Amino acid sequence: MKFHRLTFFASLLLTAVMLLVVYVFDSAKHQFSETNRQFFFTLGISTLLMAIINYLVIDYLFNFYGKKQIRKISTILPEEFTDEMSEDLNFKTLGEKVTELQEKNAWEIDTMKEMENYRKEYVGNVSHELKTPLFSIQGYVETLMDGGIENLAIRDKYLERIDKSVERLLNIVKDLDAINQYESGEITLNLTRFDINLLIKEIFDLLEMEAQKKQANLNMQTSQQQMFVYADKQKIFQVLINLISNAIHYANREQAQITVKTNILKTKVYIEVQDNGMGIKPEALPRIFERFYRVETSRSRKDGGSGLGLAIVKHILEAHHENISVESVYLEGTKFSFLLDKSQ
């Protein structure tokens, strides 16, 4: 409550007390003379009038001075705050706006710190990913230059390894370019009608030899032979081949089973990629869609992945206004699932 209001109510209370004293003493003991009685009544009325005048004057001065000071303070605040305060300037609104600005600044500082940490981690990850194939290429080239090129067996073997390292470098650069485009909102979808079941079968054919090396079985379960969706076929191909390839790479048992399921849910088509591989630890699960995050670092780099596959999958599905879900039990298996628009 404002100070001048407290003063006013205090004056009213004092006046009431004085009048009450006059009334009690006068009616109970008749000790007051007429002159004293008039004096106390006059004093009470005067106190009341002074309280009213005090309230009006102080209220005017308070508002005038307060608004003047608020205007000075508001000059250092952002325009989006002062524009809203132009019609009703008061200290309460100013306090709320300053608190809001403080919270916003604190949030922005925390965000900047997170982005700085993310930037450092990102640069470190890129450097590490590029360093491995580059050092391999450098080592093989130096060996060949030191005379290894004269030995045909060594030359052919090292040239093949150089070729694989260059291919990995190209894949990393290509994935980096793709993820930067997706995160900057530059992703363009070419939406068409296609059979998702047929696309899955084509991917199975491409990955058949890779699955055989890992002794993994590729299975498909569907409620209909043909199931048409409306999406970007090339990008959904990229999503599925990433998910199925990951399942193959992480197969860690004999006769590993990788199953892709499709089903119709009203206006959507449900797609699920499930395996009985090594699974993902609970603490790693929330981070698997981050750039360069690896569930099992040494094994992933040995397989030659860029570490960007799941991040790209996430962005592609978000561009389709869909989300990807993951469930996993460590050492038992993992299940990825997402929805696509059904096409007639």
Shortest CA distance to 205 belongs to which of 160, 240, 231, 176?
240
Per-residue pLDDT reduced to its tens digit, 250-275: 877 777 899 999 999 989 999 999 99
Between 125 and 87, name the one with better pLDDT: 125
Per-residue pLDDT reduced to its tens digit, 163-188: 888 887 887 888 788 888 777 777 78
Rounded Cα–Cα distance for residues 232 and 78 (Å): 44
Per-residue pLDDT reduced to its tens digit, 284-296: 888 888 877 766 6
Q: Quick check: 316 and 238 in contact, CB under 8 A?
A: yes
Rounded Cα–Cα distance for residues 75 and 239 (Å): 52
**Domain regions of the chain by residue span:** 3-76, 101-183, 191-341
Q: Write down the pLDDT at residue 105.
A: 75
Q: Write down the pLDDT at residue 88.
A: 55
For residue 93, pLDDT over 70 is answered with: no
Residue by residue, DSSP assigns 239-264 as HHHHHHHHHHHT--STTEEEEEEEEE
Domains 101-183 and 191-341 share a fold: no
Rounded Cα–Cα distance for residues 287 and 275 (Å): 19
Q: Write down the pLDDT at residue 337.
A: 96
Q: Which percentage of the chain shows pLDDT scores above 90?
A: 26
Query: N- to C-terminal Cα distance for the chain?
Result: 67
**Per-residue tokens: 221:** 């379960």
Q: Does domain 191-341 have CATH number 3.20.20.450?
A: no
- CATH number of the 101-183 domain: 1.10.287.130
Average pLDDT, stretch 4-18?
63
Shortest CA distance to 36 belongs to which of 20, 22, 16, 18?
22
- pTM score of the predicted model: 0.60
Per-residue pLDDT reduced to its tens digit, 303-331: 555 678 898 899 999 999 999 999 999 88
Q: Which of 148-157, 205-214, 232-241 has the lowest mean pLDDT?
A: 148-157
Q: Quick check: 188 and 234 in contact, CB under 8 A?
A: no
